[in-house]
Amino acid sequence: MKLSKNPIWTTDSQRETIIQKQIHALRKEIVDWVSRESSLTEDKKEIIIRTNTSENFFEYSVLNRRDVSAIDSRLKFISLSSERLEKLYELQPTRTTFQKQTFLIRKAIVYLDTMLLIAQRMSSIAKSEAMREFKDLQLEVATLIDEVDRIASFAEYNNIRLFEGHFARNSRVASMWFINETNGELFRVYLGTMTAKSLGLTSSDGNPETLSSPVLFQKKMDEAINKIIEERNRLQSVLN
């Protein structure tokens, strides 16, 4: 799909539009596949999930019929992030240093908001009466936890990874400094580590947390939600 030459849109916002259209088309393709009678004998379907318009940013998967709900849940969150980023690119200028600082924080908040919604979705799964559909729900949980890690590794600004811990308070790798627009003084900005592991969404061996103990799982989701909200509020205070 070619980028439009509409002068009102930025190239970045157009890319997010393309991603949304690709996700919408993929979701429709999956629905059509499931609804066809022939799909009853076609147990698997090859799909490509694009998270960026660059040719190397895609995930190839073989979809089983029982995977449909989990994959669709993930696609919804990818599309939601893309939609919000598109609006940010259109509305937030990045000509001056101060505007770029603001953009970085707002972009980070977009990703945090998506992570928060994902954690809330997993929390609602643990409370759901549909827990009897354990295998399907566990698959969705594992898929969404993987999506959190994808966001943490993908979220960046000018090739600066935002949530992998490089700019965390205890980091010895790098530091980020902003200029106070009022008095011109430098101040340090911290970006917390927001990987699935740091949020407590994976076990010590790196595997996704399971629904085998709904109460314990719910507790971990509450802790993750609180951590994301705390990080979001802290970054919002930088803008204020």
Which amino acid type is present at position 75?
L
For 197, the domain range is 92-239
The answer on 147 and 32 residing in a single domain is: no
The answer on 185 and 138 residing in a single domain is: yes
pLDDT recorded at residue 7: 40
Reported as a pLDDT band with limits 50, 70 and 90, residue 44 is confident
CATH code for the domain in which residue 194 is found: 1.20.1330.10
Reported as a pLDDT band with limits 50, 70 and 90, residue 8 is very low
DSSP for 209-223 reads P-SSSHHHHHHHHHH
- Total number of domains constituting the chain: 2
- pLDDT tens digit sequence for 71-97: 999 999 999 999 999 999 999 999 999
Reported as a pLDDT band with limits 50, 70 and 90, residue 56 is low
Q: Could you tell me which residues are beta bridge partners of residue 63?
A: 45
The answer on 130 and 25 residing in a single domain is: no
Beta strands in 25-71, from DSSP E residues, in sequence order: 44-50, 58-64
The answer on 105 and 33 residing in a single domain is: no
- pLDDT tens digit sequence for 108-123: 999 999 999 999 999 9
CA atoms within 13 A on the CB side of 2: 3
The answer on 121 and 52 residing in a single domain is: no
Q: Is 165 domain-assigned?
A: yes
With a cut of 90, say whether residue 49 has pLDDT above it.
no
CA atoms within 13 A on the CB side of 121: 21
**Is the pTM of the predicted complex or chain greater than 0.85?**
yes
CA atoms within 13 A on the CB side of 174: 14
pLDDT recorded at residue 148: 98
Average pLDDT over residues 203-228: 94
Reported as a pLDDT band with limits 50, 70 and 90, residue 4 is very low
- pLDDT tens digit sequence for 125-155: 988 866 657 778 999 999 999 999 999 999 9
Which region among 49-63, 107-121, 192-206 has the lowest average model confidence (pLDDT)?
49-63
* First-to-final CA distance of the chain: 39
With a cut of 60, say whether residue 55 has pLDDT above it.
no
